[in-house]
A and B are shown apart, each in its own frame.
Chain A
Amino acid sequence: MSTQAYYVPAQSRWPILASVSLFLIAFGAGTLINALSANAGGGLGLSLLLIGALCMGLILTGWFGHVIDESRRGLYSDQMDRSFRWGMSWFIFSEVMFFAAFFGTLFYVRNLSVPWLGGEGEKGVANMLWQGFEATWPLMKTPDMAAYPGPAGLIDPLHLPLVNTLLLLSSSVTVTFAHYRLKQDRRPQVIAWLVLTIALGTAFLVFQALEYVEAYHELGLTLHAGIYGATFFILTGFHGMHVTLGTLMLVIILLRVIRGHFEPDHHFGFEAVSWYWHFVDVVWVGLFLFVYLL
């Protein structure tokens, strides 16, 4: 067949298997979480969750492996390439909106609901609930300190977070260098820049983990610490998960580069990962500004 015809794949078992795995993950996670909250044993839920996650890992490996194989057999036309580009772009847009929900939450809490609870502004009547409560940000003293003991201290933005900002920003630069070298087909340098990118991403994750340990053990900054802790952990936590996923994707394209995949003018898999990496980087800049610094 000519490479210019649009490739419509024949029947595939991957999607239905992936649906079953997704169901196992969701049902297992639900069972596990409910059991933990009820202080019952979570054995069944945990098993389902792990089986589901394992299957999903295998399926995604197989499915992506299959797509890579098709691509290397030359089945994909330029039009197919554009479908992938649109697909990845809109996927990243959906991720942007996912973070937008949490940033929106942060802005609402900081600018509206906490000041109202403290008696400021048009809905300051909310102060009647906890008289004497004072609105501050970061919120160190929650309205009900017995239910949600506020944090004792905060992360200093100019130490680990600043280092992390530099790490991630430079990793965006290094992945771009890797991309340029790929276009020039200078593979050893592609590999070197990719390894450096992965190292920077991993270092970021290690520092982030250290920061969480410090937050929990020394600062009393926990999920229970009222709205500051809640917004802090949901934003940095989901960002950390995305960095983890991005690092994993970088490792995969590194392995592919080592195996001789990608051509100087045809390497959308590589570009997709680098787009994703830039995206997690941009989210971090927002986090550094609005969660840590301001």
Chain B
Amino acid sequence: MGSLEQTVHSTGHHGPASGITRWLYTTNHKDIGTLYLIFSLTMFFIGGCMALTIRAELFQPGLQLVRPEFFNQMTTSHGLIMVFGAVMPAFVGLANWLIPMMIGAPDMALPRMNNWSFWILPFAFFMMLSTLLMEGGGPNFGWTFYAPLSTTYAPPSVTFFIFAVHMMGISSIMGAINVIATILNMRTPGMKLMDMPLFVWTWLITAFLLIAVMPVLAGVVTMMLMDIHFGTSFFDAAGGGDPVLFQHVFWFFGHPEVYIMILPAFGVVSEIIPTFARKRLFGYTSMVYATASIAILSFIVWAHHMFAVGMPLAGELFFMYTTMLIAVPTGVKVFNWVATMFRGSMTFETPMLFALAFVVLFTIGGFSGLMLAIAPADFQYHDTYFVVAHFHYVLVPGSVFAIMAAAYFWLPKWTGHMYNESMGKLHFWLSFIGVNVTFFPMHFLGLAGMPRRIPDYALQFADFNMVATFGAFLFGFSQLLFVYNVISCIRSGKQATDKVWEGSHGLEWTLPSPPPYHSFTEPPVFKHPYKENG
């Protein structure tokens, strides 16, 4: 059976294979990272088109463009695709590209499994998207797929949705195992855990979260499948089950999941801000402990998504206080970023602009999260556009801006060319304005009582909705600038130096730009980036 494998050997000096097989059969962390990033960008645009469909329908009150059933499928698919197809794979792509280069490893620890983790995804999303064309339509129960909407009242295509989620889970777990094995086992001699770049640290913790909660997601969709097709009553009170049980199990996965989408973003920002402030990161150790604390707390806060479903008072209070506790380590991080910049020699290249916007706008999202954490207040905010505003502030100018920042920051290293700086800045400003115009008015809409996931609304919400739709189209179309900039950066552009940025630190900047196909065939000499005499 060994003949199925190419005979090219592993001692290190071969380049990439040619043609499509390079991408299909690759075991190279850079190729796989590129595949993840391209996949993520594709999904970002597909999910973005769905978002624009939603916003176009909400441009004016009344039903103009789509039927309510289709609107529900759009909100559901938009959420699922952005979470599982755009944000998560983008961070896995960054992890693939960067972790081996940052820790001085030859590749990921388990390269073939790495390829498998990626190639499951296109099939999973093909299946997920194909449900939109099936009889009865695609999933229409919201990205949180609460029972009984997703069981008793679901379209038949829910079965394929369940299997697609299983496939994504398999992919994520294998990817996360690979990341942990790489970080724990492949560091260059001399690099201790507390010497690692923060991006590596945040990914180590993220991988732990993934392995801990993706199986729980698999468990909950399995129980759905059993309820729908095999007559069990997990989520049906008539048989002694409980629909609220669905929400508990789902959010036990779901809350760590939102940190899976933000912790690597913290890591990215913690790499970029010191570079452009030309100072070392303030409070490295506290950053590590804060990240770990956030991860641990994420397991005991899940029911703050469920304040309004009817929990015993003790439960409401417990989850309210633990949730508020998360503000402490998060505050430590924001303080450290600001203190890093304090009296730094700052310059404002595109990655830095995105990172700064991240700090400010993510913090706004964090504060609205604190408001939502107050159980009695949440009774009012629950299921309104205030919640939509909150999580889009942490996910779009949070996670997505961090991904953009990372792309601009490391593109010169990856491609060997500088991107177009003025176009990058234009992209930033249009995105920054677009995001705020889209999502800031949603706070007001929510506080005034506009419910989420509804295609029509009362007249008094018309003005802010119109504004939000303008912002959404501005944000959406300005992303084409990013695509153009990336493509032209791959093809041509000023030759990038090895160091790329004046203030860059870390092992990846000691490699040529672009780095050779196999980064470190010999373990590099490690010098601590944050310690003066490392």
Contact = CB atoms under 8 A, between A and B. Distances in A.
A36 to B, nearest CB: 7
B230 to A, nearest CB: 5
A144 B222 CA distance: 23
Contact of A142 (B226, B233, B249): B233
Contacts of B219: 98, 101-102, 105
B129 to A, nearest CB: 13
Contact of B113 (A8, A15, A223): A15
A108 B126 CA distance: 36
A3 interface: no
B167 A26 contact: yes
Contacts of B234: 105, 227, 230-231, 234
A74 interface: no
B109 A83 contact: yes
Contact of B238 (A10, A122, A142): A142
A218 to B, nearest CB: 19
A57 B109 CA distance: 24
Nearest to A79: B185
Contacts of B239: 142-144, 147-148, 225-227, 230
A8 to B, nearest CB: 5
B227 to A, nearest CB: 8
B27 A108 contact: no
Contacts of B212: 93-94, 97
B214 interface: yes
Interface stretch (B9-17, B139-147, B341-349): B9-17
Given A10-B5, A38-B156, A104-B252, A93 B211 contact: yes
A75 B11 CA distance: 11
A227 B231 CA distance: 10
Contact of A10 (B8, B123, B170, B232): B8
B247 to A, nearest CB: 11
Interface stretch (B56-64, B114-122, B412-420, B457-465): B114-122
B177 interface: yes
B157 to A, nearest CB: 8
Given A97-B215, A142-B233, A147-B238, A14 B109 contact: no
Contact of A113 (B7, B160, B218, B241): B241
A225 B233 CA distance: 8
B173 to A, nearest CB: 5
A26 to B, nearest CB: 4
Interface stretch (A84-92, A160-168, A185-193, A256-264): A84-92
A110 B482 CA distance: 53
A90 B180 contact: yes
A60 B201 CA distance: 33
A94 B211 contact: yes
Nearest to A95: B215
Interface in B467-513: none
A49 to B, nearest CB: 11
B2 interface: yes
Contact of B5 (A12, A112, A143, A147): A12
Interface in B140-186: 156, 159-160, 162-164, 166-167, 170, 173, 176-178, 180-182, 184-186
Chain B interface category by residue count: 35 or more
Chain A interface category by residue count: 35 or more
A36 B240 contact: no
B240 A227 contact: yes
A86 B176 CA distance: 11
Contacts of B2: 65-66, 69
Given A86-B181, A87-B110, A226-B240, A30 B160 contact: yes
B314 to A, nearest CB: 8
Contacts of A14: 4-5, 112, 116
Nearest to B230: A223
A66 B164 CA distance: 29
Interface in A196-238: 222-231, 233-234
A182 interface: no
A10 B173 contact: no
A29 B242 CA distance: 27
B123 A87 contact: no
B228 interface: yes
A59 to B, nearest CB: 9
Nearest to A121: B312
A294 interface: no
A6 interface: yes
B106 interface: yes
Interface in A107-128: 108-109, 112-114, 117, 121-123, 126
Contacts of A230: 226, 232-234, 239, 241
Interface stretch (A17-25, A268-276, A283-291): A17-25
A252 interface: no
Given A8-B518, A10-B27, A15-B112, A109 B218 contact: no
Contacts of A142: 233, 238-240
A69 B321 CA distance: 55
Interface of B: 1-2, 4-12, 14, 17, 21-22, 24-27, 105-107, 109-113, 115-116, 119-120, 123-124, 126-127, 156, 159-160, 162-164, 166-167, 170, 173, 176-178, 180-182, 184-186, 211-216, 218-220, 222-223, 225-226, 228-234, 236-242, 244-245, 248-249, 252, 310-313, 518
24 contacts: A10-B10, A11-B8, A11-B21, A15-B113, A19-B123, A26-B164, A30-B159, A33-B229, A62-B4, A86-B181, A87-B113, A91-B177, A94-B211, A101-B215, A104-B249, A113-B240, A122-B312, A122-B313, A130-B238, A143-B239, A223-B226, A226-B233, A234-B226, A234-B234
Interface of A: 1, 5-16, 18-20, 22-23, 26-27, 29-30, 33-34, 36-38, 61-63, 65-66, 69, 75, 79, 82-83, 86-87, 90-91, 93-95, 97-98, 100-102, 104-105, 108-109, 112-114, 117, 121-123, 126, 129-130, 139, 142-144, 147-148, 222-231, 233-234
